[in-house]
Amino acid sequence: MNQGKLVFAQLMQHLPLTTFRRCVRRYHGEHKVKSFSCLDQFLCMAFAQLTFRESLRDIEACLRVQRAKLYHLGLRSIVARNTLAHANAVRDWRIYADFAQSLINIARPLYVDEPFGVDLRESVYALDTTTIDLCLSVFPWAPFRSTKAAVKLHTLLDLRGNIPTFIHISDGKMHEVNILDQLWPEPGAFYVMDRGFLDFDRLYRFHQAGSFFVTRGKSNLKIQRRYSHAVDRATGLICDQTVFLTGFYSHQAFEAPLRRIRFKDPDTTKTLIFLTNNFALPALTVTELYRCRWQVELFFKWIKQHLRIKAFFGTSENAVKSQIWIAISVYVLVAIVKKRLNVQASLYEILQILSLTMYEKTPLDQLLTRILEQEIASSSPHQLNFFQ
């Protein structure tokens, strides 16, 4: 039964506030804070993400024009842009990083049975890095090139539900392969990555842990073929081989055999070479696994287009990381609500609906379901189409 709560408040009801307060205490986030709490800061930044605000002044104006409804949004004080800017600059970004990770731990079981294109029971992760360009004179703490700055998002994406399970934010100079040192391999899981992560010393740690990887081979890779397995060339497969590394350093780093698969993509006619330490899967399934790696590229494109992580409300490292982690929290929160309310609309459609209905009192499940039903009704075959 609707109790008259605003849509924004209904959405925030799905936050584990006990966990949030635990994260705040862990990093002393409210030391000497009197009025503008860490939760107020999170709600303001989440509101900015959901309503596509462009600046601190924009956030302040939108919240002050609805001053009478701030309490019903969950805010306990009037929001001033200087107060919000100071909070973003000094309150530890790890509060929001830990909280985002707790939301991820809630979301992943909800999507455990979600299909992703390959029939596998094991966990499958896609690993990749994206770069967010910045101005070097404004963000000097994030060097990238001699004339520009950047931050990198190193992301491990669970392909079931496209939920990021691990994110590391670094400056632009950190090479993507170094992120392998920070991952704890999951036994039996598959890690799909491109050639930028081809480091046999690091990949051997995954092999020893009982994990499987699928990656692309480089053209100058020195190998020796030991066995060749029959393949169906009509599927695009050229060969399926068991090989050993023969390069001096690569052989020392990875002494175990590898599986080398050559495949001609029928769409692009390009010949691709895949390397994996899994010998049980059919060769065509390995190629399909690598094709699914594109989901992490789509994830990066999606969050850059629909969340505020390219234009920042502060210039300090703490402010940038806080904003990115809160944006990830909002993404995962919407994914949780989508599953809990059994909404068939996409995350994009849900975000667009929420952006225009923050101050309404319609029950959230009815709001999202009603919009979807209206879309289905509008696409009825009996409806006249004036553009035919």
pLDDT one-digit tens code per residue, 3-13: 678 999 999 99
Q: Report yes or no: 310 and 304 within 8 Å, Cβ to Cβ.
A: yes
Element (DSSP H or E) covering residue 60: helix 56-64
Q: Does residue 148 form part of some domain?
A: no
User: In terms of domains, do 11 and 69 share one?
Assistant: yes
342 and 265: one domain?
no
* Any domain includes 226: yes
> Environment class of residue 147 by beta-carbon count within 10 Å: exposed (0-12), middle (13-18) or buried (19+)?
exposed
Which residues is 213 bridged to in the sheet? 191
Based on the fold, state whether residues 211 and 258 are members of the same structural domain: yes
In whole angstroms, what is the distance from residue 15 CA to residue 326 CA?
A: 12
pLDDT at site 375 = 53
Give me the pLDDT at residue 311, please: 87
Structure tokens that stand for 111 in this block: 């999507």
Last residue of a domain, one of 229, 262, 280: 280
Dihedral through CA 267, CA 273, CA 274, CA 279, nearest 10?
A: 110
Contact 78, 253 (CB under 8 A): no
Q: Answer yes or no: do 263 and 334 share one domain.
A: no
Residue 357 lies in a domain: yes
Per-residue model confidence as pLDDT tens digits over 142-171? 999 988 999 999 999 999 989 999 999 999
305 occurs within a structural domain: no
Q: How many CB atoms lie within 10 A of CB 183?
A: 20
Which pLDDT score is estimated for 373?
57
Chain centroid, CA 363 distance in Å: 28
Domain count, the chain: 2
Residue with tokens 């392998």, as numbered in its chain: 180
Distance CA 214, CA 125 (A): 10
382 pLDDT above the threshold of 90: no
Same domain? For 342 and 276 the reply is no
Tell me what pLDDT residue 295 has.
93
152 domain residue, yes or no = no
Q: Are strands 237-245 and 258-264 parallel, antiparallel or unpaired?
A: antiparallel
For residue 175, tell me if it sits in a domain. Answer: no
> Quick one: 91 and 12 in the same domain?
yes
Residue 39 located in a structural domain: yes
Contacts with 105 (C-beta within 8 Å, 6 or more apart), sequence order: none
**Structural domain harbouring 53:** 7-95+314-378
The whole-model pTM stands at 0.90
pLDDT of residue 3: 61
- Taking only the tens place, the pLDDT of each residue in 195-209 is 999 999 999 999 999
Domain identity same for 12 and 91: yes
- Any domain includes 203: yes
